[in-house]
């Protein structure tokens, strides 16, 4: 999710979405495969890799309509990062172009849907003319619990690992009994009496190979 400064908005060109359109662009974002399928009633069809929200910055799921569009806008929250051809669909979340094309196909954003700059320009032009319905579904790689709260998920994983280690350690540990105060007074060092040590007759003998 990105905050956009007033200066950025003033410096960019805003597009008001058409209320009616002869055709509609259907934009389907799959969080699991990190892909976007675009199809228009006019016949155009595309499949592109995307980057959606990384753990702790989930991308909203559901069905949306474009709310506002800008040919260029900058994020006031994340170091004035450029967001070319932005299509905002709910709050501060948008589909937009990205310079981090090497991350496409993997979760990487703060909640927006990133696409390659050229693909963002194509999509922007289509939606500007025809309007759109945006559907975002699926579960991000790594599971929903990790994406929603990575810190809590990490604590649960660490606790499970500690429990497993403890159980394995108990399986190999010899039984131990705490001595009573009377036993400790009689034998402070805990030395084993000679009568309790095994005799030579009971000890196993080494046998040479034959």
Give the chain's domains with CATH numbers. 6-141 (2.40.440.10)
Is residue 97 over pLDDT 60? yes
- What's the mean pLDDT in 36-43? 94
pLDDT of residue 89: 98
Per DSSP, the residues of 47-107 read EEE-B-BPTTSPPP-EEE---EEESS-BBTTTTT-B-TTEEEEETTEEEEE-S-GGGTTS-
Q: Report pLDDT digits (tens) over 64-92.
A: 999 999 999 998 888 889 999 999 999 99
Q: What is the pTM of this model?
A: 0.63
Q: Report pLDDT digits (tens) over 126-152.
A: 999 999 999 999 998 876 554 455 445
When pLDDT is cut at 50, 70 and 90, the band that residue 102 belongs to is very high
């Amino acid at each position: 999710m990105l905050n956009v400064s007033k200066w950025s908005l003033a410096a960019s060109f805003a597009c008001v979405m058409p209320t009616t359109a002869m055709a509609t662009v259907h934009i389907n974002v799959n969080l699991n495969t990190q892909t976007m399928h675009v199809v228009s009633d006019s016949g155009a069809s595309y499949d592109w890799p995307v980057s959606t929200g990384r753990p702790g910055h989930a991308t909203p799921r559901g069905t949306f309509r474009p709310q506002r569009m800008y040919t260029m806008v900058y994020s006031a929250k994340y170091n004035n990062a450029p967001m070319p051809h932005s299509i905002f669909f709910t709050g501060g979340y948008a589909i937009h172009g990205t310079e981090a094309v090497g991350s496409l196909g993997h979760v990487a954003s703060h909640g927006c849907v990133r696409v390659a700059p050229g693909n963002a320009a194509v999509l922007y032009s289509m939606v500007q003319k025809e309007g759109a319905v945006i559907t975002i579904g699926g579960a991000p790689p790594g599971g929903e619990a990790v994406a929603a709260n990575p810190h809590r998920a990490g604590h649960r994983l660490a606790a499970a690992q500690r429990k497993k280690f403890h159980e394995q350690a108990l399986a190999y540990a010899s039984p131990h009994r705490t001595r009573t105060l009377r036993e400790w007074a009689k034998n402070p060092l805990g030395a084993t009496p000679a009568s309790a040590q095994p005799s030579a007759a009971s000890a196993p003998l080494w046998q040479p190979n034959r």
